[in-house]
Structure 1
Amino acid sequence: MAGRTVVLTGASAGVGRAVARAFGAQGANVALLARGRRGLEAAAAEVEEAGGHALVVPVDMALPSRVEEAADRVEKVLGPIDVWVNAAFTSVFARFPDVAPDEYARVTSVTYLGFVNGTRAALRRMRPRDSGAVVQVGSALGEASVPLQAAYCGAKHAINGFTAAVRMELRHERSAVAVTVVQLPAVNTPQFSWVLSRLPRRPRPVAPVYQPEVAARAVVYAARHPRRAEYRVGASTAGTVLAHRFAPALLDRYLARTGYDAQQTDERARPAAPHNLWEPLDGPDGRDYGAEGSFGEEAAERSPYTVAARHPLLLSAATGAALVTARALRTRAART
């Protein structure tokens, strides 16, 4: 990746922040896109310290014209875009009836249409050159949904369908441009501290949880090998998806019973806590949130399944482990 130009959306915190550092360590020129300037400036410093070159580009990914302007600026300053990574999102933790129409639309505009806008900007520049890669940061919730995150799950499902359609079009054109998806498990990021929540208790990731660096390594690997349609991070991600495919009704019953508690800590939620749905919390009067959240004590720093998924000789063993997970979930679901 040394000397290559990488555009990264959602770069100010969480997974995007960790990915920025990882590309910096590869010596890449990294364009950092997000709304919050404090987080972007801190991310830029980390990229430079890691050995890369950073460009800060504040932008709301829900606005297609602004995304195009951002892409123009990147190519003017850093040169042709080689890799575009879509990682920006926002969400609401609440029962579907408790999410206002404008809030649902906002989550969809950022989390789904933000990926559409980013992909469009990337392909407009990559297709004429017949070179480049787009990496979508997806989620296991894009295939196996959970309660209390209807807007986010819907957006992640939409990303999978959209990306598959675009990939087919590129193949029809015999284009050398590649599009891939990295499906993530629960990750220890600041989102649980700044996403709008109407839950009675503080939101948390569903265990098992991984550190952002696990996701970052997978994204960098996918950017290097984008011809593969999809990468999965974490055996739990693969197992849950397989269980959803083989026993969807039973898994839905299981998650309906356990999904509420699994996404909340024992700590009562703060009333009227600040959130980033409409404005970034790392704006002029905010602070930098970094890559990691507050669940580091339980977050794994490596994922054996991700390593296995990169090597065909080990993939069959990893798939077997995932099937065992699927059967276990099916058994637990049947007992509830």
Structure 2
Amino acid sequence: MPQTLNVVITGASAGLGRAIAHEFGKTGARVGLISRDLSALEATAVEVERLGGTAATYAADVSDDQAGEAAASSFEERLGPIDIWINNAMVSVFSPVKEMEAAEFRRVTEVNYLGYVHGTLAALRRMLPRNRGRIIQVGSALAVRSIPLQSAYCATKHAIVGFTDSLRCELIHDNSNIKAIVVQMPAMNTPQFTWVKSRLPRLPQPVPPIYEPEVGARVILHAALTSSPRREYWVGGSTVKAILGQKIFPGILDFYLGKTGYNAQQREEQDSPDRLNNVWHPVPTTLGAHGPFDTKSRPFSLEAQVSKHRGWFLLGCGVIGVAICAKKLLAR
């Protein structure tokens, strides 16, 4: 990898994407920022440059493959050859399946899944001739263990893993030096819970435990910089438990989440049906990387640190955590 990286981040105007931009800015990287909200992108760019990096912005909806391709070309002209492409943009709808509309499923799929496909293709067109580069997909514990009320989001996260596994096999077949990496994230304190579309009676929230976005951003940075990146990283103890729990006793988790998943995703405050949401259009925000849950969020994750390194320690911690959860569930 070059000493100074050229990095592209989708969904970079707020939340995790903005936190990732900050981490790369600290390294002096040249960072290309993509989202629909140009004013928020420009604010992120100022922060990146204040931290020591160089930033360029491009307003685009990742569901539009031509817009993504144009953004990639623009960044290569302004920043140089792209070394790292990070797919992160997302939208979601909190709603029971029976109340969802087909157009909402389509839109979430176009942004969350096809947006990753479009970004990956744009990156590959530039990386393959050079035979170098890394494509990092921001995943979720929900890519393995779905929860109620987020069917569209969970489905797209599952799809991203399937797509990336296929791509990884093909890169190996071609003896390519390009790496495809998935980072499975926990619930995080981001602004998405202030603008997500919801049909729930109370304001939405991430399922606790909640982590600050910098926890995930630092793992993304590690995956970009390490000489031997893992194929997949698990961030947060809750992610480890969800993934291993799904492998060991998925039926118990169906029952448990069916009983607890509705309440766990709602705050005490009532929501308004007139609240703006960002499914179709961006919603202005001054929150930046963090959402409204700072007092409830964890700034550190032991599991995230362990996930950066190979070994059996992570698996052992996860199995212990799953066993404790199973004991609690069976005692109910």
CA contact (8 A) 2:139 2:184 kept: yes
Q: CA deviation at 1:319?
A: 2.1
State the match for 2:92 in structure 1: 91
**Following superposition of structure 1 onto structure 2, how do residues 31-70 of structure 1 map, counting pairs within 5 Å?**
31-70=32-71
**Following superposition of structure 1 onto structure 2, how do residues 96-135 of structure 1 map, counting pairs within 5 Å?**
96-135=97-136
State the match for 2:177 in structure 1: 176
4+ residue runs over 6 A deviation: none
Distance 1:80 1:177 in 2: 14
Distance 1:311 1:142 in 2: 22
Q: CA deviation at 1:321?
A: 2.0
Q: What are the superposed Cα offsets for residues 155-198 of structure 1, whole Å, 9 maximum, x if unpaired?
A: 00000000000000000000001110110000000000001011
State the match for 2:17 in structure 1: 16
CA contact (8 A) 1:167 1:179 kept: yes
SS in 2 for 1:11: coil
SS in 1 for 2:76: helix
CA contact (8 A) 2:219 2:308 kept: no
Distance 1:236 1:270 in 2: 30
State the match for 1:201 in structure 2: 202
**Following superposition of structure 1 onto structure 2, how do residues 1-336 of structure 1 map, counting pairs within 5 Å?**
3-225=4-226, 227-282=229-284, 287-312=285-310, 315-336=311-332
TM-score (norm 2): 0.97
Structure 2 spans left out of the alignment, 5+ residues:
none
Distance 2:246 2:293 in 1: 26
Q: CA deviation at 1:317?
A: 3.1
CA contact (8 A) 1:185 1:209 kept: yes
Distance 1:179 1:197 in 2: 33
Distance 2:181 2:298 in 1: 24
Distance 2:130 2:314 in 1: 37
Distance 2:129 2:73 in 1: 15
Q: CA deviation at 1:288?
A: 3.5
Distance 1:289 1:204 in 2: 15
Give the % identical residues: 45
Q: What are the superposed Cα offsets for residues 271-291 of structure 1, whole Å, 9 maximum, x if unpaired?
A: 310010000013xxxx43300
Q: CA deviation at 1:328?
A: 2.4
CA contact (8 A) 2:23 2:221 kept: yes
Q: CA deviation at 1:334?
A: 3.2
Distance 1:2 1:200 in 2: 50
CA contact (8 A) 1:183 1:231 kept: yes
AA matched with 1:301: P
CA contact (8 A) 2:10 2:87 kept: yes
Superposition RMSD on alpha carbons, in Å?
Answer: 1.2
AA matched with 2:54: H
SS in 2 for 1:302: coil
CA contact (8 A) 1:2 1:26 kept: no
Distance 1:229 1:109 in 2: 25
SS in 2 for 1:202: strand
Alignment: residue pair count = 330
Structure 1 spans left out of the alignment, 5+ residues:
none
Q: CA deviation at 1:2?
A: 5.1
Distance 1:265 1:18 in 2: 24
TM-score (norm 1): 0.96
Moved more, 324-333 or 65-74: 324-333
CA contact (8 A) 1:138 1:181 kept: yes
Q: CA deviation at 1:88?
A: 0.3
Moved more, 28-37 or 224-233: 224-233
Distance 2:3 2:265 in 1: 39
Q: CA deviation at 1:335?
A: 4.3
AA matched with 1:104: F
